[in-house]
Amino acid sequence: MDATTREARDAARLLAAPVDRSAVRAYRRHVLAVDPASGASPARVLTSLAAIVFSCVAGLFTVAVAVFLLFLAIAAVLGALDGLSATAAWFAPVAAGLVVLLTWVVCRALIQILRRDVRLRAPWVRRTRLARFAAASGLSYVPEVREPPAIGLLLAAGRRRRVTDLVGSDEGLGFEMGNYEFAGATGQGRFRRFGFMRVGLPRRMPHMLLLSRANRDGFRRSTLPWRLPTDQVLSLEGDFDRYFTLHCPSRYEADALYLLTPDLMALLIDRAAEFDVEVVDDHLLLAARGPFRMTDPRTYALASALLSTVGVSTAKRTVRYRDGRADRRDRIGDRGRRLRFGVPLVARLVGPVVLLLLLVRAVLVVIGLGS
């Protein structure tokens, strides 16, 4: 076993090694001294206390209602209640089950808010482990970046954006990996979180987006909050279209074929079929469907495999690239700099529907039927 492999294994052991309480407190004090906003704000504390109180009250109410309905059903079956048939009494357990299910859903959402907004000990233990691992591996670690710089489409979605557990290195072209979170994107009201990797490229490239067919929701739609026009879709040879949908700017089809050689397409299918892949400016982005488990050594093994295959091959193809439409070698023409995109169908229908309702109301008022 060589020294590099031994050092990598020793660093990986730090992800599972116990963390002393004093080390957690010391790291927490260090982070809060550098960035006081990383702690729990008064608003977050009040929100979390309200969530705890509501969860306790909802739990007690649920238990009381469920027990009452259950005893009601038992009494009706035994004939102790006049006027209530045994058949009708079976509705009580069903109602109790629905009450329990509804309350469980509400409490689960509140617990997620609690975990996200209050800096309990568990996140700080994870952060201390990652900081220790990064230091031993020669990497940088940042616990949280609020409103990070927008990159392309994958790392620009939504509002209340933040990156957590950002691990990276400036060596060579540089790379970063972590979890990206956002909420309230156009057409999406839900909170989303997914793991990502960013690899630096030696040259700026036209904007290209490869949407994984495996990285879709239950309706076979991309999990991105934008709707990309179909005239920017380029079909490639072989089975590649079974795994990815390629979007590239119009009149840049040849440039996409220059980058996506058969060898690189084979690597993408073999190594990154479950990732959305984006090439934008001098960045290569890979986005998973769900969040990375940043304290799992297998996450870094996967990252290393992607870097050494997809990352290296993509960087090699971009070294000699030049956009003949641009006036300088290090620039991309205006048409190829960014993909065009629109909002989802639901969002596009909101305006016309509201306008139609206002028009109907105006007509009713005119004919005397409205208020």
pLDDT in tens, 60-69: 777 777 777 6
If asked whether residues 90 and 165 sit together in one domain, one would say no
If asked whether residues 295 and 222 sit together in one domain, one would say yes
In a domain, 145, yes or no: yes
If asked whether residues 323 and 192 sit together in one domain, one would say yes
pLDDT at 78: 67
Nearest-angstrom CA–CA distance, 319 and 181: 32
Residues 6 or more apart from 363 whose CB is under 8 A from it? none
If asked whether residues 323 and 177 sit together in one domain, one would say yes
pLDDT in tens, 197-219: 999 999 999 999 999 988 765 44
If asked whether residues 186 and 113 sit together in one domain, one would say no
Please choose, from the candidates 235, 261, 257, 233, the residue with its C-alpha nearest in 3D space to the C-alpha of residue 247: 233
pLDDT in tens, 262-288: 999 999 999 999 999 999 999 999 999
Q: Rounded to the nearest 5 degrees, what angle is found at the Cα of 231, between the Cα atoms of 229 and 236?
A: 115
If asked whether residues 191 and 62 sit together in one domain, one would say no
If asked whether residues 146 and 273 sit together in one domain, one would say yes
If asked whether residues 99 and 154 sit together in one domain, one would say no
pLDDT in tens, 325-335: 988 878 999 89
Q: Specify the number of domains making up the chain.
A: 2
In a domain, 187, yes or no: yes
In a domain, 71, yes or no: yes
Residues 6 or more apart from 212 whose CB is under 8 A from it? 243, 244, 272, 273, 274, 275, 276, 277
Q: Tokens 């892949």 belong to which residue? A: 277
If asked whether residues 92 and 201 sit together in one domain, one would say no
Q: For every one of its 371 residues, what pLDDT tens digit does the chain have, with 9 covering 90 and above?
A: 454 555 556 667 888 888 888 998 899 888 888 876 666 556 666 666 676 677 677 777 777 777 776 676 667 666 666 655 555 556 666 666 777 777 777 676 666 655 555 545 578 889 999 999 999 899 999 999 999 999 999 998 888 899 999 999 998 889 999 999 987 644 444 678 899 999 999 999 999 999 998 876 544 455 566 666 667 899 987 889 999 999 999 899 999 999 999 999 999 999 999 999 999 999 999 999 899 999 999 999 999 999 999 999 999 999 999 998 988 878 999 899 998 765 544 545 555 666 666 666 655 554 555 55
Count CB-CB contacts under 10 A for residue 310. 22
Nearest-angstrom CA–CA distance, 286 and 155: 10
Is the torsion defined by CA of 297, 300, 302, 308 positive or negative?
negative
In a domain, 127, yes or no: no
Q: What is the DSSP code (8-state) at residue 38? A: G
In a domain, 261, yes or no: yes
If asked whether residues 216 and 107 sit together in one domain, one would say no
**Could you list the residue range(s) of the whole structural domain that residue 95 is in?**
42-117
Residues 6 or more apart from 75 whose CB is under 8 A from it? 81, 89
Contact 303, 195 (CB under 8 A): no
If asked whether residues 64 and 207 sit together in one domain, one would say no
If asked whether residues 246 and 328 sit together in one domain, one would say yes
In a domain, 358, yes or no: no
DSSP H helices, 78-120, are 86-89, 91-117
In a domain, 133, yes or no: no
**Phi then psi for 177, rounded to 5 degrees?**
-150, 150
In a domain, 149, yes or no: yes
Nearest-angstrom CA–CA distance, 307 and 310: 6
Tell me, what amino acid is at 293?
R
What's the pTM value of the predicted model, to 2 decimals? 0.71
Nearest-angstrom CA–CA distance, 79 and 277: 66
